[in-house]
């Protein structure tokens, strides 16, 4: 027993040291932390293959990582801000058609995969990485560019669509075969419960607005972190108890209802280290548990999926940018910068075992190539338009 506990703590300590060392080293080459964390997981899984089980403390952090991630996404929004994002609606719909509907139809009818497998793969392909794209916009000092506002608004639209899709993806993840597909009544009950969750958080939003002064006062307490951390875990688990797979939606809405006062800043300062720790462990364990048996991968499907992550996203972003009102060079620069997948795709990937292998390899290659494409987007756009002007 003592030996087992010692091994778990040794494994945890080694993992955290490697997460820092490799993450810090690869950051010098602008390597996204998401890939660094997964790389450490892959490395340790190859070294410690006989003992694949991870420490209990890691399992707890893995479980709370996703609700924490979506809670922090919710903190960036408010009900007023969500109502104000009207201008992005048409570009967002175009983005959804190109990057969800088209891939779903190609995978379902072209590859012959079932409805659920196709739905999950299309969901993996659809969202651009908010974390990586926004970080690169900052790192490359492009937040002042004309396309930056458009890209950020489009990221917001995609975030909301993914958050609305996730309850259905969790719902589908419990279906073992296409034959056991739920009937209309199951869908109706799910939608009614989701509407109930939205109403609950809207009422909570009205209450927190009235209590904003009280929340500001207690946010100065050293033990305020217990209130917030407990609320995130509690509210994200309540939907599961009532039979609604909407833990991430609840965590997101809890972030939205927090008033834009001193309380919000205090929460971000208090919980940020736990979020970074949990998300690092989440992606580390994703790489650690991954089965890298190449025989299971259909290379033709892999190439097609990888191509779809670039071709459809580039085309839809360029078209959407023009509709949004950008000049052609700005729309092209934006389209070249918007192809990177990331955290949302990996979260979706964990829900459906059958698509893990093929999607994982496609996503890793996409992040590497997409980051390079972002880095050279300005030069490529200028080269194309300067050459056009000369001719």
DSSP labels, 199-241: HHHHHHHHHHHHTHHHHHHHTTSTTHHHHHHHHHHHHHHHHHH
- List CB contacts of 144: < 8 A, sequence separation 6 or more: none
Residue 197's closest CA among 245, 259, 160? 245
Does 283 or 4 have the greater pLDDT score?
283
- How far is 360 from 20, CA to CA, in rounded Å? 23
- How far is 336 from 330, CA to CA, in rounded Å? 10
Which residue has 């990888």 as its token pair? Answer: 306
Residue 334's closest CA among 346, 319, 349? 319
63-390 CATH choice from 3.30.470.10, 1.20.1530.20, 3.30.565.10, 3.40.50.20? 1.20.1530.20
Does 75 or 127 have the greater pLDDT score?
127
- How far is 191 from 25, CA to CA, in rounded Å? 46
pLDDT given at position 337: 95
pLDDT (tens digit per residue) in 357-373: 778 889 989 988 998 89
Average pLDDT, the chain: 83
Residue 75's closest CA among 263, 250, 252? 252
52 with 11: CB under 8 angstroms? no
At residue 294 the predicted structure's pLDDT band, cuts being 50, 70 and 90, is low
Neighbours of 319 (CB within 10 A): 16
From residue 83, give the alpha-carbon distance in Å to each of 16, 41, 53, 78, 253: 41, 40, 45, 9, 14
- Return the structure tokens found at 299: 């290379």
Q: Model's pTM, two decimal places?
A: 0.78
167 with 194: CB under 8 angstroms? yes
pLDDT (tens digit per residue) in 111-137: 888 888 899 999 999 999 888 888 788
Q: Where are the domains of the chain?
A: 63-390
């Amino acid at each position: 027993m003592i030996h087992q506990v010692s091994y778990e703590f040794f494994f945890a300590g080694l993992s955290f040291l490697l997460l820092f060392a490799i993450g810090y080293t690869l950051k010098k080459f602008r390597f996204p932390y998401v890939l660094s964390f997964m790389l450490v997981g892959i490395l340790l899984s190859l070294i410690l293959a006989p003992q694949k089980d991870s420490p209990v403390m890691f399992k707890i952090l893995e479980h709370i990582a996703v609700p924490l991630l979506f809670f922090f996404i919710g903190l960036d929004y408010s009900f007023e801000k969500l109502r104000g994002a009207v201008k992005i609606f048409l570009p967002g719909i175009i983005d959804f058609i190109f990057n969800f509907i088209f891939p779903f139809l190609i995978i379902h009818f072209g590859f012959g995969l079932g409805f659920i497998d196709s739905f999950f793969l299309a969901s993996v392909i659809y969202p651009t990485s908010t974390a990586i794209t926004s970080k690169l916009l900052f790192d490359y000092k492009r937040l002042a560019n004309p396309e930056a506002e458009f890209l950020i608004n489009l990221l917001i639209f995609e975030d909301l669509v993914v958050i609305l899709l996730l309850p259905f993806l969790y719902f589908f993840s419990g279906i073992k075969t296409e034959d056991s597909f739920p009937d209309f009544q199951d869908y109706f009950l799910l939608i009614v419960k989701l509407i109930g969750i939205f109403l609950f958080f809207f009422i909570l939003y009205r209450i927190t607005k009235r209590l904003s002064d009280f929340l500001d006062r207690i946010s100065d307490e050293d033990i305020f972190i217990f209130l917030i951390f407990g609320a995130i875990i509690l509210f994200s688990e309540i939907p599961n108890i009532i039979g609604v797979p909407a833990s991430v939606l609840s965590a997101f809405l809890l972030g939205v209802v927090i008033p834009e006062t001193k309380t919000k800043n205090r929460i971000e300062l208090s919980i940020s280290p736990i979020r970074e720790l949990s998300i690092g462990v989440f992606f580390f364990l994703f790489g650690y548990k991954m089965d890298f048996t190449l025989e299971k991968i259909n290379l033709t499907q892999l190439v097609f999926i990888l191509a779809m992550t670039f071709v459809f996203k580039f085309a839809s972003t360029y078209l959407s940018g023009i509709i949004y009102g950008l000049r052609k060079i700005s729309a092209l620069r934006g389209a070249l910068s918007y192809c990177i997948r990331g955290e949302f795709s990996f979260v979706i990937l964990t829900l459906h075992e059958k698509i893990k292998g093929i999607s994982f390899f496609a996503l890793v290659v996409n992040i590497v190539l997409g980051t390079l494409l972002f880095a050279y987007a300005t030069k490529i756009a200028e080269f194309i338009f300067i050459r056009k002007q000369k001719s």
